């Protein structure tokens, strides 16, 4: 994945340099025009940050999330020369809990319950949809457009990891209890910066960086009469995304 992004970025910037030279004679005309609305499709990598990435058992907001793929539908409608209303929808997969994660959580619950031991089994992955909307301002130079956007909206969780915990040697918690997968909505906000290259006939390429933050979807438990140790009420989500793709003006 890292090599693929390196090659794509190198190709993109080489094409930018070539296009910039070819467009020099059109600078005055391009800068004076109103920016055109556009729609784009892209893909890239989404990385968890902060609590979402943390693997600290004692931090109830720790998500143990991993880097993964992101797919993007993005665009903007210009109401003024350089000011627009931007919108983005991304689907991302932030992985699942690994064996080492299971063992870390298991040891934590063993200590919290002062138990003989515990068995932790996790399944399902972090899968979600980000739906964001906000004002965008664009700076035009040669054949390039530099887009800056602040946005707010929602994260729709399709799944978070399900965690089953069996506490051993504690009479008040003899059965297995469950942290359930969440499919809730949660408020989200963020920002983005992008570079777009107009390659002609209203088509172009772009590179974009997204930042998204949310308190995250609500998490629930069942079969847990004795509540000790790690208890997640909301799964905090913070994502940084790098996206490459194609756009069309209209």
What pLDDT score does 33 carry?
86
Contact between 189 and 216 (Cβ < 8 Å): no
Domain count for the chain, please give it: 1
Once rounded to an integer, what is the mean pLDDT over residues 153-170? Answer: 98
Q: Which range marks the domain in which residue 210 is found?
A: 2-249
pLDDT in tens, 66-103: 999 999 999 999 999 999 999 999 999 999 999 999 99
Distance CA 194, CA 84 (A): 14
Return the SS3 of 183.
Answer: coil
Which pLDDT band holds residue 223 (cuts at 50, 70, 90)?
very high
What pLDDT score does 216 carry?
98
Q: Does 13 or 124 have the greater pLDDT score? A: 124
Q: What CATH number is associated with residue 142?
A: 2.40.160.20
């Amino acid at each position: 994945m890292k090599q693929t992004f390196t090659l794509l970025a190198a190709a993109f910037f080489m094409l930018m340099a070539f296009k910039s030279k070819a467009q020099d004679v059109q600078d005055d005309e391009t800068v004076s025009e109103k920016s055109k609305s556009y729609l784009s499709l892209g893909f890239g990598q989404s990385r968890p940050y902060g609590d979402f990435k943390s693997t600290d058992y004692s931090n109830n907001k720790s998500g143990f999330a991993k880097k993964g793929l992101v797919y993007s539908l993005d665009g903007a409608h210009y109401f003024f020369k350089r000011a627009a209303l931007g919108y983005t929808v991304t689907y991302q997969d932030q992985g699942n809990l690994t064996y080492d994660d299971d063992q870390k959580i298991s040891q934590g619950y063993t200590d919290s319950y002062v138990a003989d031991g515990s068995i932790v089994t996790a399944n399902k992955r972090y899968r979600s949809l980000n739906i964001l909307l906000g004002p965008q301002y664009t700076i035009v130079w040669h054949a390039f457009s530099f887009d800056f956007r602040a946005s707010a909206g929602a994260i729709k969780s399709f799944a978070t990891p399900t965690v089953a915990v069996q506490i051993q040697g504690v009479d008040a918690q003899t059965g297995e209890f469950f942290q359930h997968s969440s499919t809730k909505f949660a408020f989200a906000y963020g920002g983005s910066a992008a570079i777009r290259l107009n390659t002609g006939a209203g088509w172009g390429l772009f590179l974009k960086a997204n930042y998204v933050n949310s308190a995250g979807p609500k998490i629930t438990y069942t079969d847990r009469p004795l509540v000790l140790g790690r208890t997640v009420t909301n799964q905090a989500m913070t994502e940084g995304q790098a996206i490459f793709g194609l756009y069309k003006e209209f």
